[in-house]
Structures are given as structure tokens and as C-alpha cells.
Structure 1
């Protein structure tokens, strides 16, 4: 049995967040506009890659680097798609692609970490932590 703070990943075959839902999380949207390479690097790190290397790669090779990491995000979550689609999304709407990728790998991870950090491991505190996180969205 998983501990109460364990993070589970749903593999639904599609992203949990809409592609054009960039402004659903205003803080992340602003941070992505100001420092897209940082957001990209943290997303790459979440799928097992080097944050600094991929953050720098994003500056010079946005579409290629974006497609590679988006492919890893899709693979890790069981999401359908292909490399051509990933390149197109990072070419035509890079901020939406960055935010969708970032939310896909970090939303559940962040929720789980904050629950453990602030509320301990009990199931009642985990429910409280989830309610607190919902208030920030």
C-alpha cells in the first residue's frame, strides 16, 4: 500500500491540462514569459535530464530541445503523440507547450511534496494539504 503522501501518475493517453490553458496558472504563465529557459530546464530535470544543459539548449534550439523533452514527458506519462506534433507546438506556441509540459510533470509532484513538507504523513493532513493546494490554483 502506498503511503498517504505518495504521488500517483494517471496514464490517460492525453495531457491533463489543455494546450491553450496557459493563463490557468497566472504565476507559472508570468514565470514562463520572464524565464522560459528556467521553466524548461526544471521540466527536463523532472524527467531525469540535466536542468542547466537543457535550459541552455532551449535558448539556442527551442523547437528541437522542446520536442525532445516533450517526448520524454509524453513517454513518462503514457501520452499519445509524435515528434512532428511536438516540434510544431514548440514552434507555433512555445509558451503554451512549456506550461502544458511543466504542469504535466509538476502538478502532482508539487502537491505530494508540499503535503509531506508542511502537513506530515497522516491521511487527514494530506487531505488538508490537497485542499490548500487547490486554493492556489
Structure 2
């Protein structure tokens, strides 16, 4: 059907070699193609604070113990990059608790922990995200809050105000002067 490449791998109609299982043709000797697809993975980073370092930020610890919906809403707004507001996320979190009872909100919040980990290439420790949220919901929320705060976000002002603040900071910095051509 397609002409065979010199190295034994099949070429598509566009002339690019086909890789992967099932679609490639190999020489009679069963030799693998000479090319390989290598996927670069981002290095996994450690969390800036531990799961049980809740008392590093006593104010947030108290707010999270009394009103976890507020902490969750702040986290969700930053992780969603402003596409959902703090109030909407907090209200949904509260409604889940009100209508299903305690425990089901951890399923909802663990998705945001996964998104946060993916955005910053954080390791999944000490156990999978859903287990962390199901067993230690408040500690998990405090850790996520501290992580975003340590990455430079002012959690109380939300996504859009953080972006304005970053833009203003960049606008007030003097331009960098690069030296002219030298020999």
C-alpha cells in the first residue's frame, strides 16, 4: 500500500515515517525502525511546604478550619486562571457539602489539586490527590493555598487583580539596556 522506507519503516503518503504499534511495516528480519519518539517530561518539583505545615500560616489555618469553602474558592479562582470566580467556586463547594454531606466535597477539591500539580509540575505526595483530600481535606487546602502564595499570588485579591499587579510591576521596571555590538 505505502512504499517501504530504506530502514524498514513504512512511510505515509506524505513521506513522513510512521511510528507506533500496529501501523508500521518492518523488514523480514523483524528489525525495529531506526527512529524513536522521545517525549520530554517536565521535571517533578517538590511542594514548597509540607502537607502538615498548616500552622506556618495560622490565619489561613483558622479560616480553613471554620470556612473551608473560602480557601477552596480562592484556590479554584487562581488555578482556573480567573475563569471561575472565588464566590462561585465557594458556593458550589458549600452546596456539595449541604446536599451530599461531608466527604463528597473532597472529590471536587481533589480535581483542583491535580490541576495545580499539573500547572506547576508538583509531585503527587504523600499519596494520590483524592486520598489526600479525603483523609486530610483541611490540610490539603492549606497546603495548596500556601503553594500559590509562595509562588507570588496574593490570594485575597483573586486572579485578575494579581495579573494587573504583575502587569503594573512589569510596567514600572526600567527597560533593560543591552550593550551594542562588540567585537
Q: Residues 47 and 147 of structure 2 are in contact (CA less than 8 Å); yes or no, is this contact kept in structure 1?
A: yes
**Secondary structure in 1 aligned to 2:123?**
coil
Of 104, 110, 120 in structure 2, the residue corresponding to residue 67 of structure 1 is: 110
Higher helix share: 1
C-alpha separation in 2, matches of 1:32 and 1:14: 23
- Equivalent residues in 2 for 1:65-104 (5 A)? 65-81=108-124, 85-104=128-147
Shift of 1:54: 2.2
TM-score, normalisation: structure 1: 0.66
C-alpha separation in 1, matches of 2:145 and 2:50: 12
Match of 1:128 in 2: none
Cα RMSD of the aligned pairs, angstroms, is: 2.8
Shift of 1:58: 2.3
C-alpha separation in 2, matches of 1:122 and 1:30: 37
Q: Which runs of 5+ in 2 are unaligned?
A: 1-42, 97-103, 156-161, 175-183
Of 14, 22, 30 in structure 1, the residue corresponding to residue 46 of structure 2 is: 14
TM-score, normalisation: structure 2: 0.51
C-alpha separation in 2, matches of 1:106 and 1:44: 13
In terms of Rg, which structure is larger? 2
Q: Residues 132 and 140 of structure 2 are in contact (CA less than 8 Å); yes or no, is this contact kept in structure 1?
A: yes
Structure with higher RCO (Cα < 8 A, 6+ apart): 1
Q: Residues 14 and 80 of structure 1 are in contact (CA less than 8 Å); yes or no, is this contact kept in structure 2?
A: yes
2:70 paired with 1:38 = yes
Q: Residues 19 and 97 of structure 1 are in contact (CA less than 8 Å); yes or no, is this contact kept in structure 2?
A: yes
Q: Structure 1 residues 35, 44: CA separation in 2 closer, same or farther (over 3 Å shift)?
A: same
Shift of 1:53: 3.0
Runs of 4+ in 1 over 3 A off after TM superposition: none
**Secondary structure in 2 aligned to 1:37?**
helix
Q: Which runs of 5+ in 1 are unaligned?
A: 1-10, 124-137
C-alpha separation in 2, matches of 1:19 and 1:55: 22
